[in-house]
Amino acid sequence: MRMLKEDASQPLYNVARRSLKLGLLLWNRFTARGSENVPATGSCIICANHVSFLDPPILGAGVRHRHVRFMARDTLMHGGFLGWLLPRIGIISLDRTRGDIGALRKAIQTLKSGAVVGLFPEGTRSPDGTLQEPKGGIGFLIAKAGVPVVPAYISGSYRAYPKGARFIRPHKVSIVFGTAIQPEEYAALAKEDDGYLKVAQLVMSRIAALQPR
């Protein structure tokens, strides 16, 4: 399979990432730690908690050395500026009204090509800012891809821009990246009963462990 060009070299993605990071720095005092846990080359998945529309920009802003390709609901692709931008920066469209096997296959193919894919195992934004149960489909994707999984925890985005809010508040936001979960750590889990869900739960437990004390 043809390898993707080095992630950090895509001009449009870099422009979008830097612009969003600048906004986060100025308005939300953005900080990031542990980005060295994201491999400099090769495939990996970054999994984070999800409470806000700010989470993808925060995750992307925290990894300046790689191009992170996210999965996002297909309704965001329908017209307007986002409909133009998102496909051009590598967003993978996902139909959340059904089991979108096609989107999962595309994500796996993207990973097999040497890319970084950003995922939110909870599937949708938490309504109250707390961690939710993960979706088994994420475990399926991880098990089939067989690549390192970097857990990440995002803080402050719920207070800055919770579900239903109309404006972004000037609340501090941050992200911390943990040590990667290697394929050998979850390969055996995937073979058990409800194995894909157990893989997803393992990832969520590593995300939870990164919460500030």
Position 132 scores a pLDDT of 96
CA distance 177 to 155: 12
- Once rounded to an integer, what is the mean pLDDT over residues 106-118? 94
pLDDT at 22 over 70: yes
State the average pLDDT for the chain: 91
pLDDT in tens, 140-174: 999 999 999 999 999 999 999 998 899 999 999 99
- Once rounded to an integer, what is the mean pLDDT over residues 86-110? 81
pTM: 0.91
User: Which domains are seen in the chain, by residue range?
Assistant: 7-208 (3.40.1130.10)
Q: What percent of the chain has pLDDT over 90?
A: 74
CA distance 190 to 172: 37
- Once rounded to an integer, what is the mean pLDDT over residues 8-13? 75
Q: Which residue has the higher pLDDT, 157 or 92?
A: 157
- Once rounded to an integer, what is the mean pLDDT over residues 129-142? 93
| Residue of 102, 203, 96 lying closest to 143 (CA atoms) | 203
Position 213 scores a pLDDT of 81
Pairing verdict, β 149-155 and 174-177: antiparallel
CA distance 91 to 70: 5
pLDDT at 56 over 90: yes
H or E element, residue 88: helix 80-88
The answer to whether 203 and 47 are in contact (CB under 8 A) is yes
If pLDDT is split at 50, 70 and 90, which confidence band does 9 have?
very low
